[in-house]
Chain A
Amino acid sequence: MIAESGHYALVLALALALIQSIVPIVGARWRDAALMNVARSTALAQLLFVAASFAALVTLHVTSDFSVANVYENSHSLKPLLYKITGVWGNHEGSMLLWVSILALFGGLVAAFGNNLPLSLRAHVLAVQAWVASAFYLFILITSNPFLRIANPPIEGRDLNPVLQDIGLAVHPPMLYLGYVGFSISFSFAVAALLEGRIDAAWARWVRPWTLMAWIFLTLGIAMGSYWAYYELGWGGWWFWDPVENASLMPWLAGTALLHSALVMEKRNALKVWTVLLSILTFSLSLLGTFLVRSGVLTSVHAFATDPTRGVFILLILFVFIGGSLSLYAWRAPALKQGGLFAPISREGALVLNNLLLTTACATVFIGTLYPLALEVLTGEKISVGAPFFNFTFAPLFVPLLLAVPFGPLLAWKRGDLLGAAQRLMVAGIAALVAIALVFAWTYGGATLAPLAIGLAAFVIMGALCDLAERIALFRIPLSLSLRRARGLPRATWGTAFAHAGLGTALIGIVCETTWNSEYIGSMKPDDVARVAGYELRLDGLNPRQGPNFREMVAQFTVTRDGQTVSVMTPSKRNFTTRGASTTEAALLTRGASQLYISLGDASADGTIAVRIYHKPLVLMIWWGPVLMAFGGLLSLSDRRLRVGAPKPAKATARALQAAE
């Protein structure tokens, strides 16, 4: 009964989306406010029905109703409750349902809080949202229905893939989807602007908070996924340039560019046409990511060819939306007026450089991810494009980008003074040189590039602080006055500083982890001692333990440093009986920003066990960086200057707009 209701709710959501696709557009053509307002009600009702559908699937998973194929294939009655819930999106059908739920959520948010949008713009935006939604409802209903029943229900389910039975699955996919799908709003705004043939600085004001919100979620989602891979996959890697990762990195790079170009558009009314194109591209890359991951084309071109229904359907969606929006762009964009002149050396110029480098980086990831697929389809030749390629091509793009980052905020709009900015960055430059000298002296005879990279990171972080110091005239006026100025600074300024400092922070972590990582690989038996980076790890013993749906072998290590006990670490190896699969649960010990990392290998007959112990210096900074960036984004989002298009408009604003309508 619940499964059927869920299915039916989804069909109703599709019907609503179809109405929302057409009626508001007709309303806008006829200038009929009632018809345009239909979009608002349908978007909210759609959210209600999709939420009901999603709730139905969650209920089925929680109650372990194995008469539903999706539950049978991905759940087990003994699975802990948390994983029963997260297992809902730990599979293809469920994750697509989460995708449309979040799409409906964003549509609902625009409908609920978009009261201050011009009526026709809102109608167009919601209609475009409904086009995307309709396509994906159809996709789910035709090819990936999560509510299908099994004729003869089995007693027990097949359990969720053990690697996914982790808290990471609870947070990572929803975050990532909030980011991915969040960009659909800027896409809808862009297409709406093209349909209306009109775009202005106010448009950028409405788009920017939504883009920022999506970007914050995507940043956190990617960072979260990276940390998850780091501790779950058991060899301490945190970024693999895997096509699935690249699929999320591309929208992030494009979205970051969009965030910066929308700034130029809002403040200076320039780069309009480019901003619209970026909005379209960012969401197109999100769709591409969905295609890459959901079609199975990544596993093998042949897997895609043998069961093409899903892949071909998403490919079709891809063609219609990307092709359609780009055609619309080619047709209507020339009509959008360009404005805002600026000299090459100016804030605008710096943001344009940011866009050039970020989009090139995005193009690099794009070609690197898709080239092997294309080459195999076209010539049958198989090549690999992996981490070494991306590391090699990314560095030349990111070094100039990072060098330019501190300059941007210090340049004036329209015409900047590069020399003046450089003078004001003197402190950051000196800090960078000191950092290089210190690291170089400390690691004398070691890597030569790493100290330079640390210097670059120091430059970025200190540059962000210099910008703040400059704005509050630190040390040039009495401290109390500076503090008052600091309080008066717009939150967006603070946000910029945090986000840029986060970039430097992440770089320090990346350089330290890749350069000064030390490891011990060996076979150990109880009472053996391993020495890594000044720590002594003694294997106390191996103990079997029974979990809810797995059995595990737990190794206990006592960690000492200079004869003093630091902690006890317990890595384990789990065996999941239902799937006959095993996972490695690494043990992590955090010391400041550094971590000790132990993962277990096989036990052999002579009583020894293969052990890999890593010391990863400052590794946590890799993830603190994105958290800082997201925090900066959040600060910027809370800036009242940005709240025009976001919830809670000032009363006067709302009244003025309603009166004008």
Chain B
Amino acid sequence: MRSRALAAAALAAILMLGAMPARAVLPDEIMADPAKEARARELSKELRCMVCQNQSIDDSEAPLARDLRLLVRERISAGDSDAQVIDFLVARYGEFVLLKPRLNEHTLVLWLTPPLALLLGGFALWRLGRRKANPAAGGADSASGLTSDEQARLERLLAAESAPDKPL
């Protein structure tokens, strides 16, 4: 698919919404303390700009994202820990603001799918391996599903292919 096209279209929509777009983090937002600013940047990457399509407030140039970035910095200046800032934003805007959803009954399936897929896949392979190792249950190696005619033809072809001095 035109993988950027839709995001690009969304971006264009945003461009048209905000009269003149501001780039993501703006010079006047930056905090004086570099350590706090770094925390703000890291937090910003985890938070969604709610009017954008799948952009964090760190990436987005929408006015709302700027407001949220300022809010995050305001909370950090007020002495909140990272968790407190997140809690504050979730209380205000809901779980939607988190780009990495919290584990709860609604997101259980989401979080469990990757490990379960791996475990079940691994388990299935283990079972299959055991069944194959057991000669009574395993299938014959030679079963290729070809008639003897076809088998002969295939062998002829393979022989012709691998003969090194055969003119092409």
Q: Using a CB–CB distance below 8 Å, which chain A residues touch chain B?
A: 89-90, 95, 161-164, 168-169, 172-173, 176, 180, 198-202, 221-222, 225, 228-229, 232-235, 237, 240-245, 247-248, 269, 289-290, 292-294, 298-299, 336-341, 344, 352, 356-357, 359-360, 363-364, 367-368, 371, 375, 379, 381-389, 392-393, 397, 521-523, 579-584, 599-602, 610, 612, 640-641, 644, 650-653, 656-657, 660
Partner of B166, one of A95, A180, A338, A650: A650
Q: Does B132 contact A (CB under 8 A)?
A: yes
Q: Chain A binding site: helix, strand, loop or mixed by DSSP?
A: helix
Q: Are A164 and B5 interface neighbours, CB within 8 A?
A: yes
Q: With A244-B5, A363-B114 as known contacts, state yes or no: A389 contacts B100, CB within 8 Å.
A: yes
Which residues from B are CB-within-8-Å of A176? 1-3
Q: Does B143 contact A (CB under 8 A)?
A: yes
Q: What are 14 A-to-B residue pairs whose CB atoms are below 8 Å?
A: A172-B4, A173-B1, A200-B146, A225-B4, A233-B7, A233-B8, A240-B7, A269-B141, A294-B1, A360-B118, A363-B117, A397-B118, A581-B15, A657-B157
Which residues from B are CB-within-8-Å of A199? 145
* Complex interface bits, B116-156 against A, C-beta within 8 A gives 1, otherwise 0: 01100110010001001000001111111110000001101
Q: Using a CB–CB distance below 8 Å, which chain B residues touch chain A?
A: 1-12, 15-16, 20-28, 30, 45-46, 48, 53-56, 59, 94-101, 106-107, 109-110, 113-114, 117-118, 121-122, 125, 129, 132, 138-146, 153-154, 156-157, 160-162, 166, 168
Q: Are A521 and B2 interface neighbours, CB within 8 A?
A: no
Q: With the chains together, A169 CA to B3 CA distance in Å?
A: 10
Q: With the chains together, A242 CA to B9 CA distance in Å?
A: 13
* Seed contacts A383-B96, A388-B45; 10 additional CB < 8 Å A-B pairs: A235-B23, A338-B143, A356-B118, A360-B118, A367-B110, A387-B56, A388-B46, A388-B99, A392-B100, A599-B23
Which residues from A are CB-within-8-Å of B110? 367-368, 371, 385
Q: With the chains together, A205 CA to B38 CA distance in Å?
A: 54
User: Which chain A residue shows the least CB distance to B58?
Assistant: A235
The 5 closest A-B pairs by CB, nearest first: A386-B99, A388-B100, A601-B23, A293-B1, A163-B8
Q: Are A521 and B30 interface neighbours, CB within 8 A?
A: yes
Q: With A244-B4, A397-B114 as known contacts, state yes or no: A336 contacts B145, CB within 8 Å.
A: yes
User: Which chain B residue shows the least CB distance to A394?
Assistant: B114
Which residues from A are CB-within-8-Å of B101? 383-385, 389
User: Which chain A residue shows the least CB distance to B60?
Assistant: A235
Which residues from B are CB-within-8-Å of A387? 45, 56, 99
Q: With A385-B101, A521-B27, A640-B161 as known contacts, state yes or no: A202 contacts B3, CB within 8 Å.
A: no
